[in-house]
Structure 1
Amino acid sequence: MRIVMIGTGYVGLVSGACFADFGHDVVCVDKDQSKIDALLAGEIPIFEPGLDELVAKNVEAGRLSFTLDVAQAMPGTDAVFIAVGTPSRRGDGHADLSYVYAASREMAPLLPAGVVVVDKSTVPVGTGDEVERIIREEAPDLEFSVASNPEFLREGAAIDDFKRPDRVVIGVNDEHAEAVLAEIYRPLTRNESPLVSMSRRGAELTKYAANAFLATKISFINEIADLCEKVGADVGDVAKGIGLDSRIGNRFLMPGPGYGGSCFPKDTVALLKTGQDFESPLRIVESVVASNDQRKRSMGRKVINAMGGGDLHGKTVAVLGLTFKANTDDMRDSPAISIVQALQDSGISVKAYDPEGMDQAAAVLSHVTYCDGPYDALDGADAAVIVTEWDAFRALDLGRAKELLKAPLLVDLRNLYSRPDVERQGFTYVAIGR
């Protein structure tokens, strides 16, 4: 089938490349000249493992192309996916839908008859209704459908998630839209990936509910980790003990410095706003948002307390990892931001290293010394703190690290190491929930 993808950000580019790899003819459209120029030159504007090879393969095969001209892309199109950003709106936390609505209005006069317009962006309940209204207003005689198809991609594992999903959710209000989306996703359903069809509003809410529930699991195990430290238990044991219960599951039960990224922070807040608009408050989600906000800053205090507190001017901390998770260059709402700022507020100088995120970090964190590698960051520091679970930090040469550090203190906010192994090397070891 012929597919147009509006937006070449994280979701649009990954989805477009994967659809092309299924054998569909995909044209990705974006208004950003520099981004399109880069893609045409074979340069990928985001870091996602395997994405550069996937894009190059399908461009060479003639199934994937990029353009600034939406009119050029439209003829003969079966489905148009809207994959533009929906960031939190300044001032009130609602999802900013201006890009979704602008795309709908611009493409409406260009849409071919019978096309299915699909919201791939994460949007609040009722957005599909407004997209449909806008298109009908701009093209009153057009026969078309509007559907919802939320993405469930983990940054760092997006291609595998797209090609081997737990489920594919489609929200449709007519049989034509359902048939077109079923054909688009037919390569997946042959592998027994379930296609879950529901109403358009149901699909819109499913995306937010899923992210809010996962955020709840993260905040829950983080609070249990704090309790473990107080009572002398190991959160790893507790997580395993509850995770083996099939009703709970073991995923998202790894304690850490709090969630961040492009989805959970904005989507939980947007869901709260939807609840308020419909006079159905979501008290659990409210608590999750508050808990996570407090969590990030408290991790900075955890490092400060491990260093003895008091006057720490003149001290230096090596921060290993800046992105919100490994295998991405995404700094959006990363716990590292709050941690670094808390350290700096206490007079501590920060040296930092991240395998992929330092250019992005430099845009949001000032007065940080960005280093060439983990050992460069450790050299001359008074403590080391692991913030992101990059593989590069899982097997550090602790003997070398001890020689480089002024004081052998390791604060492991991802529990990458075992206490006996670290203490055997002469370190003071501080972890989460142990």
Structure 2
Amino acid sequence: MKSQRSRQIKLAAYVMAGPVSGHHGGWRYPSARTDILSLDYYQEIGRQLEAGLFDMLFIPDILAVPHKFRNSAASQLIHGALGALRLDPVVVLTAVATATKRLGLASTISTSYIEPFQLARSLATLDHLSAGRAAWNIVTSFQPAEAANFGQAGLPDKNQRYDRADEFLSVACKLWESWQQDAVVLDKTTPLFADPAKVRAISHKGEWFDVEGPLNVSRPPQGRPVFIQAGASDRGKDFAAKWAEVIFVTHSSITSAQAFYRDIKERVARHGRNPDDVHVLLGVVPVVGETLAIAQEKQALLDRLTSPEAGLSTLSYHLDIDLSEFPLDEVLPAIAPPGVQGHYKEVAELSQKQGLSLSEIGTRYAIGPLRDFNGTGAEVARTLKRWFDERACDGFMVQMPYLPGGIEDFTRLVVPELQTLGVFRSAYEGPTLRDQLGLSLPD
């Protein structure tokens, strides 16, 4: 294991290619930009994150406008909530690549609605064009609304989706490996563009996929993109322990975060991998100000700009349950949601500890449950360091409350404090995302 002294906080920025990222009222904040369909908006976000030495820009994605709450998409569209609008993340990240040199570029892509060849080709292209900065957030999807957009009557059960994803990743890795690193020769005189002896078919025939190969894009600079995963169920955690190099989690207490951290590191070791090669990033929504009073004023304004319905609409999507069917003035009942287990555990823990009604849960879910990370830059940095030092995480997935001002606040006020505390870099480690994360090329 690496020594405590050698550990450095990893930072990713969670930015949706749409109106909402960390706070459902963020798009209404007075200084928030509204040109979310413009090229310059995302390129400016990328430039700011790179100036703050962030490891990566992470863009989540969904493939439907959620309509679980009250069986209607109205609450999403009115409040500009989770899935009211989403641009294609790979296209957005390609644009960001042209405005940055070191920032990692992470795209969410579901294994349920794309073929391995198409995904492998797309991400190999992004890795080449960005000189080795691509990452893939692997999801299996869980919403019937998404299935309906791809001509499917329903979803396979969770185990089948993970079985398919296991084979999907195996095929994608074979495709990325179908070209040896030095296969492209570019000898104009001979001529020899690529050595046929170093490019091979994969001839994969499995339960879910038959793929001949080879890929028609040469081996990516990183060997393959960095893998990100956020599974919180038992099967999801085991899948992440097998494949992921970055794991994104949300927790409402340091105790639950520490328990997850220990569990996932043990699972990684059982898969024969080095636990230090898997970085657990905790989702936080920091509101930062030059003084505590300024941070509190920002938070109060942000909170006034959202509503419980926005949070309940998004939570209904995450849990795949229409929460409008339950009394809003009572606590969240014990349920077994078919959707994201981690989000249910997070809100159930809050509800049980604080006796929050469903309406109050909606408000908290819309504005972010962790207020420990609000305050001055020095206060936020000390709190981040405490969670990091106490092995609750290896870094943070920073969900900006409003954009792009939330990035500017964090990079100007928090990053220098983390550097002073000796837990964050003062310069990028190298040209690729694997360099920043301390990851070697895959075998």
Q: Same fold (TM over 0.5)?
A: no
Which one has a bigger Cα radius of gyration?
1
Q: What's the TM-score, normalizing by structure 2?
A: 0.26
For CA contacts below 8 A with separation 6 or more, give which structure has more relative contact order.
Answer: 2
